[in-house]
Amino acid sequence: MNDDLFIKKVPAVIKELIGREAENNHRSINQEAIALLEEALLHRIENSQARRGSALATLARYAAEVARPAAHALGNTAMPASTGAGG
């Protein structure tokens, strides 16, 4: 395989790594670079969704903790009975 990766300012070590991976996977260097970028993007998306889910779970727990004392306080407070008099 005599392909070259035409991405500016890619360190030689990265080009060599992609070249070895391309050879191992029987792909051109450009095909391997695209495959690696797609895999990295999928990994980033999965991590983003995991963090988002974790953040939402944390916010839900926080909201439940905040609501619990408020509900408890309301339960212990005697509300005045309505007189039925409308102003």
Residue 46 vs residues 13, 32, 49, 70, 85: alpha-carbon distances, Å: 27, 21, 5, 36, 60
How many CB atoms within 10 Å of residue 19? Answer: 18
Query: Looking at residues 15-36, what average pLDDT do you find?
Result: 91
35-56 tens-digit pLDDT: 998 999 988 888 888 877 887 7
For the chain, the structural domain boundaries read 12-71
> According to the model, what pLDDT value does residue 83 have?
55
Q: Which amino acid is at 34?
A: I
Query: Looking at residues 71-85, what average pLDDT do you find?
Result: 54
